[in-house]
Structure 1
Amino acid sequence: MEKPLIAGLLIIIVFLIITPCFIWINNRFNNYEEFDELEESALVILRIKKQLLHELLNWVKDNNLNAKQIQERLMVSPKRAADIIYQRIDQFTVDSLTNFVLRTGKTVTVTIRDK
């Protein structure tokens, strides 16, 4: 009976020591204002990526291009061409999408405004 009792007490002591550590870590790293800013910036980036990908898709439709033609004209891999066709926005960076749009002969303009 002594071994289970000692093991139980050890578990309780460890739990009592670790729980405040978890609470401190949770409070220390859950700054919700930072999350709001992160969410806002992530939404802005998502909107930019969506607009760039939409321009690419319009270019594909306007020129009636298939996957092979997209690969040749944009100098991309077959996987990248499929990502464009199926609008897999999570597979692209703003930088790569901007480069692709520029390769279509279009220009990209960035506008920054005060809130």
Structure 2
Amino acid sequence: MGGFNAKVMKGSSKHQGLGFHDLGERNSKASIYFPSLKRTKLMMILNTLFICQKRRKHTWISPKGVTNNHIDYILVSESWFSTSLNCNTKPSADFDADHTLLKDKLKVKWFV
């Protein structure tokens, strides 16, 4: 786990690790942390792959509530990508932080 605080842009293909459904912004930290996704094709950013309301994409809100950013991500191995059903934030989750809860709904088959 780490605090990268990077903003990624839309990917040209979901096989490059980035989906089409993000806020379309990018900062300099993204070019440092995420280029390996395109080269290796081993990791996927889940919260850029699903369609949802814009307010469900914001993972950070400024203390005065003026600025919203999409800077927190769930990365999974490409082999686990198909188990994800939905990934978005839960703005109504009430805890004392400027980040919002990011959740992923998975379908997992258990073999006993």
Which bin holds the TM-score, normalised by the shorter protein? under 0.3
Q: Could you tell me the TM-score, scaled by structure 2's length?
A: 0.24
Q: Which protein shows a greater Rg? A: 1
Name the structure with the higher helix share.
1
The two structures have a TM-score, normalised by structure 1, of 0.24
Q: Which has the higher strand share?
A: 2
